[in-house]
Structure 1
Amino acid sequence: MNFEPYPFEKLNDLLKDITPNKNYAPSALTIGEPQFETPAFIQNTLADNAHLLKKYPMTAGETNLREAQRGFVKKRFGVELKDEEIIPTFGTREVLFNFPQFLLFDIENPTMAFTNPFYQIYEGAAIASKAKMLLINMDESNNFKPEIDENELSKCDLVIINFPNNPTSSVLTLKELAEWVKLSMKHNFVLLNDECYSEIYTDEKIPSLLEASMYAGNHNFKNILVVNSISKRSSAPGLRSGFIAGDKMILKEYMKYRTYVGCAAPLPLQSAASVAWREEIHVEAARKIYKKNFALAKEILGTEIPAATFYLWLKVENPLEFTKKLYEEYNVKVLPGEYLAREDAKGENPGKDFIRIALVEDEEKTRSALIRIKECLA
C-alpha cells in the first residue's frame, strides 16, 4: 500500500531547517486536540473503575455505554435508535479506516467518494480498499459546500461527507443533508457522515444525517450511517470513545467483522465514556471557550465566526511561505491547507490558498498567537 505522508509529517519536513524565534513562547495551532483538562468527573470515573482492567471488554460494547450513546442521540438529535442501530467504537479513526475495507471487500472495482479538503484517513481507507477515489470539491465558489455531480455519484459504492467540516468549518442544513439522503436512495450508495464536530457549534445546533434521513422519509436509515466521537465534545481524545450508527442491516455484518478486528475499548474507559456521553454541562462550557476564541479571531484578524468546529480556514498569500515565516519569526505553527486536500481532475487543489488554524488553547494563549499571526500577515 502506498499511503501519502500525514499532513503533520509534511509540516515537519517543511519546517525542519528553520529555527524559530525564541523571543516568543511556542504556539502550535496545528492539531485538533483540545488543550483543556478532561473534566474531573470523567477522570474520577475512570479511576474508580480501574479494577475492571482484569476483564476482557466485549466487542459490542457494554450495556451502560450503548445506552448512554443512544441517549445522547435521542436527547441531542431527537432520534430514537434501536440497540442494533448503533455500535460503540474505539474512537472513530479506526472505523473510518476499517469500515470502507469491510463494506467494499466483495465489490469488484469499487468507487469511494469523499469531500475535498478532507481528514486524510478517508484517503487511506480508499487506498487500503483498492477503491477508485472520487473527490467532492469544496471551495470558495460554492461556500465550501460539496459539489453534487449525480453522474459521478451514481457510480459510487460509498460516499463519505464530513459536516460540520474539518478543515473548512462549513455546515449543511437539515434540508441540504436530506438531499444527500435522497441521492443515496436514488443511486443506492452507502452514505456516511463524519459528525465528530457536531457538538462544537457557536449558536445554532447542527443537524445530524440521522435527522435528515428521517426528514427524507428514510426511517430505517437504509444505506445511511454516521460516526461521532467524545474526543472534541468532552476534551477527552484519550478515552477513544465513538460510535457508528444507522442502517442495522449493514451494522449487523459489520459487527461480525469487528469481532476479528479486536479494537474493543477497555472497560474503565467505557465506564468513563458512558458518564461523559450522558452529561452536557461540561460540553456547554467548552463551546463557550471556543466561541470566545472565534470572537478574538474576529477582533484581531477580522474573520467571520463560523457556525461550528474550532478551526479557522484562513486565506493567505503563498501559504507555504507564510507558514515558514510565521514559525521562523513568531514561533507559531499552523497547517497549510494544501496538505489537507488533493488536486482534482483539473489539477486544482482546493486547499492551496489557505491555512488551517486550530483554536484549541485558552484565551490568553489564543490572543497571543492571533496577534502574532496578524503581525505576520502585515
Structure 2
Amino acid sequence: MHFEPYPFEKLTALLEGITPNSAYSPIALTIGEPQFETPAFIQKSLAKHSEELRRYPKTAGESYLNDSMRGFVERRFGVKLKANELVSSFGTREVLFNFPQYYLFDKKEPVMAYTNPFYQIYEGSAIASRAKVIHLNLSEQNGFKPVIDEAELAGCDLVILNFPNNPTASVLSLEELGDWVKLALKHDFCLINDECYSEIYTDQKIPSLLEASLYVGNSSFKNVLVINSISKRSSAPGLRSGFIAGDGSILKGYAQYRTYVGCASPLPLQAAAAMAWADEYHVAKAREVYAENFKAAQEILGIETSDATFYVWLKVPNALEFTQRLYRDYNVKVLPGEFLAREDARGENPGIGYIRIALVEETVRTIQALERLKEALS
C-alpha cells in the first residue's frame, strides 16, 4: 500500500536548502488552521470538565453532543435530523478515511470519484479501499465546479464533493447540489459533500447538500451524506469534533463499524464541543476577521473576494519557482497548487500554475504577508 507524501512534506522538500530573507519575520500561509485564540468559553468548558477524563467515552458520542450537532444543522440549514441520521466523530479526517473503506468493502471492483484538487485524505481512503479513482477536475474553464459526465459517473459507488471548496474557494448553488442528488439517486451511488468550510462565508450563507436533498424531494436523504467539523467554524481544530449526517440506513451500519475503530472523543472535549456547536456569536466574529482579510487581499492583490472559505487560489506563471522565490526573498510560505492535485486520465493536473494562500492570520499580519506577495508578483 503506497501513499503519496502530504503537500506539506513536498513543500519542505521544495524549500530545502533555501535560506529565507532574515529582514522579514516568517509568515506561513500554508495550512488551513485558524491562527486565532480558541474562544474563551470553549477553553473554560474544557477545563471545567477535565475530571471526566477518568471515564471511558462512548464511541457514539454523548447525547448532549449529538443533540447540539443536530441543533446546529436545524438552526443553520433548516433541516431537522432524526437521531439515527447523524453520527458524531473524532473530527472529520477520521470519517473521510474510514467511511469509504467501510462502504466500499463489499464492492467487487469499487469506483470512487472526488474533486481534483482535493484534501489528500480522499486519495488515501481510495488507496486503502482499492478503489478505481475518477478525478472531477476543477479548472478556470469550468468555473472550478465539477462537470457532470453521466456516462462516467454511472459506474461510481462513491462520490465525494467538497463545497465550499478547498483550495479553489468555489461554491455550488442549491440547484447545482440538487442536480448531484438526483444523479446519486438515478445511478444509486453514495454522494458525500465535505462541508467543513460551510460557516466561513463572506456574504450569503452557503447551502448544504442536506438542503439540496430536501429541495429535490429526497426527504429520507437516500444515498446522501454530509460531513462537517468544528475546526474552522470555531477556531478549534484540537477539539476533534465532527459529524457525518444524512441517510440513516447507511449510517446504521457505519455506526456499528466505528465501535471497532476506537476513535471515541474524550468527554471533556465532547462537553466543550457541544457548547461550541450551540453558539453562533463566536462564529460570526471569526467571519468578520476573514472578511477583513479578503478585503485586504482584494485591495492589495486586485483579486475578487471569494464567497467562502479562507483561501485564495492565485494564478502565477510558475508556482514552484514562485514559491521558492517568495520564501527566499520575503520569508513567506505558500503552497503550490500542483501539490494538492493529481494528473487525471488525460494527463492534466488542474493545480499547475496556482498557489494556495490561507488567510488564517490576524488582519495586520495578513496585510504584511499580502504586501510581500504583491511585491514578489511585480
Q: TM-score, normalised by structure 2?
A: 1.00
Counterpart in the other structure of 2:269: 269
Q: How many Å separate the matches in 1 of 2:347 and 2:83? A: 45
Q: Once the two structures are superposed, what CA deviation does each residue of 1:88-138 show, in whole Å capped at 9, x if it has no partner?
A: 100000100000000000110100000001000000000000000000011
**Is 1:296 aligned to residue 278 of structure 2?**
no
Secondary structure of residue in 2 paired with 1:21: coil
Listed as ranges, the gaps of 5+ residues in structure 2 are none
Listed one character per residue, the Cα deviations across residues 259-294 of structure 1 (whole Å, up to 9, x for unaligned) are 000101000000000000000000000000001000
CA distance in 2, matches of 1:204, 1:309: 12
Give the equivalent residue in structure 1 for 2:374: 374
Instruction: Specify the code of the residue in structure 2 equivalent to 1:252.
Output: K
Match of 1:355 in 2: 355
Partner of 2:252: 252
RMSD: 0.4
Unaligned 5+ segments in structure 1 are none
SS, match of residue 181 in structure 2: helix
Q: Structure 2 CA distance, aligned partners of 1:301 and 1:227?
A: 33
Query: Which one-letter code corresponds to 2:182 in the other structure?
Result: K
- Give the corresponding residue for 1:223: 223
Which residue does the alignment assign to 1:99? 99
* Partner in structure 1 of residue 79 of structure 2: 79
Which residue number corresponds to residue 163 of structure 1?
A: 163
Structure 1 residue ranges, 4+ long, deviating more than 2 angstroms after superposition: none
Written as runs of structure 1 = structure 2, the 5 A alignment for 1:156-235 is 156-235=156-235
Deviation for aligned residue 1:210:
0.2
* Count of paired positions: 378
What residue is the counterpart of 2:140 in the other structure? 140
Task: Indicate the residue corresponding to 2:25 in structure 1.
Answer: 25
Distance 1:363 1:195 in 2: 25
Give the drift of 1:348. 1.1
1:119 corresponds to? 119
Q: Distance in 2 between matches of 1:135 and 1:319?
A: 21
Quote the residue 2:15 is aligned against: 15
Query: TM-score, length-normalised on structure 1?
Result: 1.00
CA distance in 1, matches of 2:109, 2:2: 18
The SS at the match of 2:217 is coil
- How far does residue 167 in structure 1 lie from its aligned partner after superposition? 0.1
Find the aligned partners of 1:280 and 1:163 in 2 and give their Cα distance: 21
Matched to 2:262, the amino acid is G
CA offsets, 1:172-198, max 9 Å, x none? Answer: 000000000000000000000000000
User: AA paired with 2:374?
Assistant: K
- Deviation per CA, 1:141-167: give whole Å up to 9, x if none: 011001110011001000000000000
Q: CA deviation at 1:57?
A: 0.4
Equivalent residue for 1:334? 334
2-structure distance, mates of 1:59, 1:319: 43
The CA deviation at 1:81 is 0.1
Query: For residue 281 of structure 2, what is the aligned residue in structure 1?
Result: 281
Letter in 1 for 2:11: L
Rounded to whole Å, the distance in 2 between the matches of 1:216 and 1:91 is 29
Matched letter for residue 37 of structure 1: E
Matches within 5 A, 1:286-325: 286-325=286-325
Q: CA deviation at 1:300?
A: 0.3
